[in-house]
Each structure stands twice: as C-alpha cells, then as structure tokens.
Amino acid sequence: MGRRKGRKWNQASNGTHIMTQQQLRDCYSINEHLGSENRCTEYKNGPGFIRHGFRENVAKYVCGFVNSQQNGKLLIGVNDDGIVTGYDCSHRDEDLVRREVDEAVKDLEPQIFPQDYSVRFVPVINEDGHQMGNLKVIEIIVNGEVIDKKDVLYQNKQGVFMRCDGSIQVLKGAAIQEWSRRKFQQRYQPEIDKLKKNEQNYVKDLQNKESEIRQLNEKLEQKNAAAQQLASNQENEEDLRNKDQKIRELEEELEKKNEAIRKMEETASVFTHVNEEQNGANGAEGNSEVIKTLGRLEDMLQKQQKSKICVIS
C-alpha cells in the first residue's frame, strides 16, 4: 500500500474549507479500494470516458459540483466499485487532458476562474511501491465551496446539472424553479421572519395606541361634560343672583307701598276722628260728605291691600 498524505481540511479566511497541496495524495496503489461514490466524489474507469465526449462530460460534472456548492473530485482511473485501476497517460496526454478540462470549464456560465479548480496526475504504484509506468489517476478537483456566486445556477451548453449522491442530475424547468424558491427562502427567510416579527410588534403597538386614544377620548368626554355642567351651574348661579336682585327690588317696592298704606291708615283715622267731632254740628248733610270721603279712603285701602298681595306672590 502506497504512502498517503493526511486528508485533513483547513478553514480558509472566509470560513469555507479548501484543499491545500499538503492535503493531496502523492500516489495511489493499484487495486486500492477508495470507498463508495458520494456527493463529493465521482469515479470513472478511464478509456471510454476520455475518448468519447470527454470535454462535455467534464463540463457536466464540474457544473454539478459547483451548483451543489461542494468541494468535488472527479477521479479518472478508478472503477465504479472504487478500485484503483489507473489510466495510461503520458506527459503529452497530460497536456491534452489539461486543455480539454480548461475548455470544458470555459463552457460554464457564469464563468469560474482557474483558482476554482485544478487538474492533477497522481502516479499509481504496485505492491512493492514502484511506479507503474505512465499509469496514473487523473484528479479534477472543483473548489465549489469557495466560489462566490451562491445564488445562481451554473450551466453549460448541455444544460443545468446538480450533483446528487453518486450521480449527476440534469435540472429542468420545475426543478430550477424549486431550486430558486429554496435559495430565495434560504437567503431571505431570516429577513422575512424579522419583518413578520416587526409587523406583529407594530400591530401590537398600534393596538396599544388605539387603546390609549380611546382612553384619552373618554377622559376628554368626561372633561367636556364637567365643563358643560360647570357652565350650567354658572348660568344657574347668575339666574339666582338675578332673581335675588329682583326679590330685593320687589321687597323695597313693597316696603314703600306698606309705608304709603300706613300713612293712608293714619289719614283715615284722622278723618274718622274729625267725623266723630263734626257729627253733631253738621247734621245729616255733613255726615253724608264724611261717609263719601270714608268710602273713597276705604277703596284706596282695599286697592293697596290687593297690590300688596300680588307683590308678595
């Protein structure tokens, strides 16, 4: 079994993980079992894959790794069971493979850059640890995690591809719409949740403000009612003052009339006395005049008494 480098992952400054030279293998051993294919690893035996549609196939797998946002590896020279078989590749063949890979990557839209992928030719050794001629494993490595554009789908001339567990899947209309919906939700859902929470807070604040306004309106109505009552009381007090003034005036007038009545009564008393003194001297004729005078005085007294009663009522 050949010597291997450690397969650790370091964290880059932007928080993602990238593969460094120290984490890549120096060699593979013939018939070595590498495990099963997964979302990040694809195996191809070699001859048929390279000779028939190599550029298109590489573009498809690179597109799938990038859209899956995974650090992916396409290993050529490993069969579907994960057994290292190697691929006979001279230096001249290496140059051809590199050019084909570069052209395949150029087919992607949006474009990815040289630092986003790499091509390696790793020697295959036998059980004794000797390199087996030009037998190699071709590693096409895609640093999908560090590619900036996470909210777009990459495509090539064949369409849009997504890497699934152990396979590559072409995305069409409905699948692309679903991907876009999930990406939108993933990107904006926190903001949407925040807006919904803010909306709930705003609604609650609005309800509180409406309650405060109702309370203020109730207090205002109470104050208006109190003001109206106060104004009514002031009007009543003014009316009472006017009535008191009127009563005082009537009482003064009544007092004056009473005084006049007293004077008339005194006058009547005088006339009565005179009448009694002249009763014998003047005879019947004098009595008649006195009686008439007394009658007039009596009428005046009655009128004064009636006027007094009306004023008091």
Write the DSSP symbol of residue 12: P
In sequence order, what DSSP letters do the residues of 43-64 get, joined into one string? EE-SHHHHHTTHHHHHHHHHHH
pLDDT tens digit sequence for 80-114: 999 999 999 999 999 999 999 999 999 888 888 88
Banded model confidence at residue 18, pLDDT cuts 50, 70, 90: very low
Distance CA 194, CA 132 (A): 61
- Indicate the range of 17-31, 68-82, 148-162 predicted with least confidence: 17-31
Q: Is residue 101 within 8 Å of residue 156, measured between CB atoms?
A: no
pLDDT at 2: 38
- By DSSP bridging, strand 167-171 and strand 159-164 are antiparallel
- 235 or 224, greater pLDDT: 224
- What is the mean pLDDT of the segment spanning 160-183? 72
How many CA within 13 A on the CB side of residue 132? Answer: 21
In sequence order, what DSSP letters do the residues of 178-226 get, joined into one string? HHHHHHHHHHHHHHHHHHHHHHHHHHHHHHHHHHHHHHHHHHHHHHHHH
pLDDT at 79: 94
Distance CA 182, CA 213 (A): 44
pLDDT tens digit sequence for 22-53: 346 789 999 999 999 888 899 998 888 888 88
- What is the mean pLDDT of the segment spanning 282-289? 59
Contacts of residues 273-278 at CB distance under 8 Å and 24 or more positions apart, as own/partner, are none
State the first-to-last Cα distance of the chain, in angstroms, to the nearest integer.
138
| Buried b or exposed e, range 8-37, using 16+ CB within 10 angstroms | eeeeeeeeeebbeeeebbebbbeebebeeb
- By DSSP bridging, strand 28-29 and strand 17-18 are unpaired
pLDDT at 95: 95
pLDDT averaged over the chain?
78
Q: Is residue 104 within 8 Å of residue 146, measured between CB atoms?
A: no
- By DSSP bridging, strand 117-125 and strand 17-18 are unpaired
